C-alpha cells in the first residue's frame, strides 16, 4: 500500500513539473500576432524588431510630485505577467486600478527606414470617455544609435476627443537604425591623376621652352616652338616606327646589282675605250 502511494505521488509530481514546463514554454513563445497576417511589409518590420523582442520598459507619470500612473510596455511580450497577452499596462495609483492598454495578439506595424510604430489594439474598454471603446496604444521606436533602448516617454493625448483616444509612447533604440553605409572613396582615379600630370608637364614644357627660345635664342615665328625640328619630323618618325614594328622591315637597304646603273653624267676619258681604239 505504501509503495502504491509513493508511486502515485511520484507520477503526480512528474505531471506537475511537465505542466509547468509547458506553461513556461508557452509563455516564452509569446510574440506579436499581426492583425493583417498577409502583410509582407509588416512581417519585415516585425523581423527588424528581433533585437528588442522580450524587452519590458516601465514609466512613472508624476503629477504635482506624486506618482499618478505607472506604465509598463512590452516589445512583443507580456508587459505584466499577471495580465496575459498585455502589450502595455497602466496602473492608476489614484484610483487603484489596472488597465490593459492593448494586446500583443492584435498588433499592427508601420514604419520607415529609421522608425517603427507598434500598435497594440483590443485593450480594456473605457468606462465613459472615448465612446466606451477599447483602449489602444502606439509605441513609436525611433533610431538612436547610442543605446540599445532609451527612456520611455509618454506623449500627452486628448482623451476627451473621440478621434484621439489612444496612448502614444516614444522610445529610442539602435535596433531600428538602418545599416551603416559603406564609406565611398571620394578622390581622383588613376587616369585623372595621369591626365593632370601629363597636361601640367606639357604646359610647362611649352611655356618654358617658348620663353627660352624667344628671350635667350631670339627665335621668331615657328622657330619659337621648343624642339621645332623634332616635332616637324615627328610624323615621319612615327611612320618609320610603324613600318618597322608592324611590317617587320626597316628602311630598304641598297640591293647588289650585277650591272652598272645607267648614268646620265658625261663619260670620263679613261672609260671611252672604244673611241680610243677607233683613233688608233
Mean pLDDT of the chain: 78
Would you say residue 216 has pLDDT above 90?
A: no
Tell me the three state secondary structure of residue 116. Answer: strand
The whole-angstrom separation of Cα 123 and Cα 79 is 13
Would you say residue 4 has pLDDT above 50?
A: no
Q: What is the pLDDT of residues 154-178, one digit of tens each?
A: 987 655 455 567 889 999 999 999 8
What is residue 214's predicted lDDT score, i.e. its pLDDT?
79
Instruction: Please tell me the least confidently modeled range out of 63-77, 232-246, 259-273.
Output: 259-273
The secondary structure of 26-86 as a DSSP string is HHHT----BSSTT-HHHHHHHHHGGGTTT-EEEEEEEETTEEEEEEEEESSS-S-TTSTTE
CB 104 within 8 Å of CB 74? yes
Classify the phi-psi angles of 279: left when phi > 0, otherwise alpha if psi is within -120 to 50, otherwise beta. Answer: alpha
**Domain 29-173 belongs to what topology?**
Cation-dependent Mannose-6-phosphate Receptor; Chain A (2.70.130)
Q: What is the pLDDT of residues 258-280, one digit of tens each?
A: 545 555 556 555 555 555 555 55
Enumerate the domain spans of the chain. Answer: 29-173, 190-246
- Please give the average per-residue pLDDT across 192-198, as a whole number: 89
Would you say residue 85 has pLDDT above 50?
A: yes
What's the start-to-end Cα distance of the chain, in Å?
A: 172
DSSP β-ladder status, 56-63 and 66-74: antiparallel
HSE-up of 202 (CA within 13 Å, CB side)?
6
Amino acid at each position: 500500500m505504501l509503495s502504491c502511494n509513493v508511486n502515485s505521488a511520484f507520477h503526480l509530481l512528474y505531471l506537475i513539473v511537465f505542466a509547468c514546463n509547458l506553461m513556461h514554454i508557452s509563455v516564452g513563445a509569446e510574440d506579436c500576432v499581426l492583425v493583417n497576417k498577409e502583410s509582407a511589409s509588416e512581417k519585415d518590420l516585425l523581423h527588424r524588431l528581433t533585437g528588442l523582442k522580450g524587452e519590458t520598459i516601465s514609466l512613472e507619470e508624476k503629477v504635482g510630485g506624486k506618482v499618478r500612473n505607472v506604465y509598463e510596455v512590452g516589445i512583443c511580450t507580456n508587459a505584466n505577467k499577471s495580465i496575459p497577452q498585455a502589450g502595455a499596462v497602466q496602473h492608476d495609483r489614484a484610483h487603484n486600478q489596472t488597465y490593459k492598454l492593448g494586446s500583443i495578439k492584435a498588433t499592427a506595424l508601420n514604419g520607415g527606414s529609421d522608425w517603427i510604430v507598434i500598435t497594440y489594439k483590443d485593450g480594456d474598454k473605457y468606462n465613459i470617455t472615448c465612446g466606451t471603446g477599447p483602449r489602444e496604444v502606439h509605441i513609436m521606436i525611433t533610431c538612436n544609435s547610442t543605446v540599445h533602448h532609451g527612456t520611455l516617454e509618454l506623449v500627452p493625448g486628448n482623451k476627451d476627443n473621440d478621434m484621439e483616444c489612444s496612448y502614444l509612447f516614444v522610445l529610442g533604440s539602435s535596433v531600428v537604425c538602418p545599416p551603416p553605409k559603406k564609406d565611398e572613396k571620394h578622390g581622383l582615379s588613376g587616369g585623372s591623376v595621369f591626365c593632370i600630370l601629363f597636361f601640367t608637364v606639357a604646359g610647362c614644357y611649352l611655356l618654358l621652352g617658348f620663353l627660352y627660345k624667344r628671350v635667350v635664342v631670339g627665335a621668331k615665328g615657328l622657330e619659337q616652338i621648343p624642339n621645332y625640328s623634332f616635332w616637324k619630323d615627328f610624323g615621319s618618325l612615327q611612320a618609320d616606327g610603324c613600318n618597322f614594328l608592324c611590317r617587320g622591315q626597316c628602311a630598304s637597304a641598297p640591293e647588289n646589282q650585277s650591272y652598272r646603273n645607267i648614268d646620265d653624267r658625261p663619260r670620263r676619258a679613261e672609260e671611252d675605250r672604244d673611241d680610243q681604239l677607233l683613233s688608233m
